[in-house]
Chain A
Amino acid sequence: MSLGSTILKVVTVVFGVATVGFIMAEPGGHIEIPQTVKWSFDGFFGSFDRKDLRHGFQVYSEVCSGCHSMNLESYRNLEDIGFTPDEVAAIAAKVQVQNEDPNDQGEMFERPGKPSDHFKAPFPNEQAARAANNGALPPDMSLLAKSRAGKGFGAYNGADYIYALMHGYKDAPADLKMNPGMNYNEYFKGHQIGMPQPLSDNAVTFADGTPATLDEEAKGIATFLTWVAENNLEQRKHTGLKAMLFLVAFTLLAYAAKRKVWKHIH
Chain B
Amino acid sequence: MSKHFNNPVIRWIDHRLPIFSYLDHEANEYPTPKNLNYWWNFGSLAGFMLITMIATGLFLAMQYTPHVSLAFNSVERIMRDVNYGWLLRYLHMNGASMFFIVVYIHIFRGLYFGSYKAPRELLWQIGVLILLLMMATAFMGYVLPWGQMSFWGATVITNLFSAIPVFGGKIVTLLWGGFSVDNPTLNRFFALHFLLPFVILGVVILHIIALHRFGSNNPIGIDTKGKQDTIPFHPYYTTKDVFGLGVFLLFYAFWVFYFPNALGDPDNYIPANPLSTPEHIVPEWYFLPFYAILRSIPNKLAGVLAMGAAIVVLFFLPWLDRSPVRSGTFRPVFKWFFWMLVFDCAMLMFIGKNPPDWFWQPFALHVAPSEDLVKAAGVADADSLGSFTFAGGTFGIQILKLGQICTLFYFAYFLVILPLLSIFETPKRLPLSISEPVLKGGGHAVAHANSKPMEKA
Contact = CB atoms under 8 A, between A and B. Distances in A.
Contacts of A250: 246, 249
A8 B86 contact: no
Interface stretch (B111-119, B177-185, B187-195, B251-259): B251-259
A132 interface: no
B265 A19 contact: no
- Which residue among A139, A152, A258, A266 has the maximum number of chain B CB atoms within 10 Å of its CB? A258
B336 A8 contact: yes
A202 interface: no
A147 B246 contact: no
Given A12-B340, A151-B265, A22 B350 contact: yes
Given A28-B369, A72-B73, A251 B246 contact: yes
B260 A236 contact: yes
A253 to B, nearest CB: 8
B257 A244 contact: yes
A200 to B, nearest CB: 28
Interface string A224-263: 0000010110011101110110011011001101100110
A247 B253 contact: yes
B250 interface: yes
B261 interface: yes
A265 B258 CA distance: 39
Interface of A: 5, 8-9, 11-12, 15-16, 18-19, 21-29, 44, 72, 77, 139, 142-143, 146-155, 158, 189, 229, 231-232, 235-237, 239-241, 243-244, 247-248, 250-251, 254-255, 257-258, 261-262, 265-266
Interface stretch (B15-23, B42-50, B316-324, B357-365): B357-365
B372 A265 contact: no
Interface string B330-346: 00110011011001101
B402 to A, nearest CB: 8
B362 A258 contact: no
A150 B343 CA distance: 26
B343 to A, nearest CB: 4
A5 B333 contact: yes
A11 B340 contact: yes
B354 interface: yes
A236 B87 contact: yes
Nearest to A262: B236
Contact of A22 (B253, B263, B266, B360): B360
A178 B247 CA distance: 55
A147 B270 contact: yes
Contacts of B79: 231-232
Interface string B265-298: 1110110000000010000000000000000000
A240 B257 CA distance: 5
Interface stretch (B126-134, B136-144, B237-245, B381-389): B237-245
B336 A9 contact: yes
A24 B364 CA distance: 11
B374 interface: no
Given A19-B346, A151-B265, A262-B240, 12 more contacts: A8-B337, A12-B339, A22-B402, A26-B367, A27-B366, A29-B358, A29-B372, A143-B269, A232-B79, A237-B258, A239-B87, A266-B441
- Which residue among B86, B253, B269, B333 has the maximum number of chain A CB atoms within 10 Å of its CB? B269
B250 A149 contact: no
18 contacts: A15-B340, A18-B347, A22-B350, A25-B367, A27-B366, A27-B367, A28-B372, A29-B368, A149-B266, A155-B262, A232-B80, A240-B256, A248-B250, A251-B247, A251-B249, A255-B246, A257-B242, A265-B34
B250 to A, nearest CB: 5
B266 A147 contact: yes
Interface string B65-103: 000000001001001100000110010000000000000
Contacts of A254: 239, 242-243, 245-246
B258 A28 contact: no
B239 A261 contact: yes
A85 B79 CA distance: 23
A131 B371 CA distance: 35
Contact of A24 (B34, B247, B365, B438): B365
Interface of B: 34, 73, 76, 79-80, 86-87, 90, 231, 235-236, 239-240, 242-243, 245-247, 249-250, 253-254, 256-263, 265-267, 269-270, 279, 332-333, 336-337, 339-340, 343-344, 346-347, 350, 354, 358, 360-362, 365-369, 371-372, 402, 438, 441
Contact of B239 (A25, A231, A258): A258
Given A21-B362, A29-B372, A72 B80 contact: yes
Contact of B333 (A8, A16, A44, A77): A8
Contacts of A146: 261, 266, 269
A244 B250 contact: yes
Contacts of A248: 250
Contacts of A77: 80
What 6 A-B pairs come out closest when comparing CB atoms? A240-B257, A251-B246, A29-B369, A147-B269, A254-B243, A19-B343
A251 B369 CA distance: 46
A5 B231 contact: no
B91 to A, nearest CB: 11
A30 to B, nearest CB: 9
A112 B340 CA distance: 67
A18 B438 CA distance: 37
A28 B399 CA distance: 13
A28 B366 contact: yes
A26 B263 CA distance: 18
A19 B289 CA distance: 14
Given A23-B350, A28-B366, A152 B262 contact: yes
Contacts of B267: 147
Given A72-B80, A265-B236, A22 B347 contact: yes
A152 B265 CA distance: 8
Given A28-B369, A250-B246, A142 B360 contact: no
B253 A251 contact: no
Contact of A153 (B245, B259, B332, B362): B259
Contacts of A153: 259, 262-263
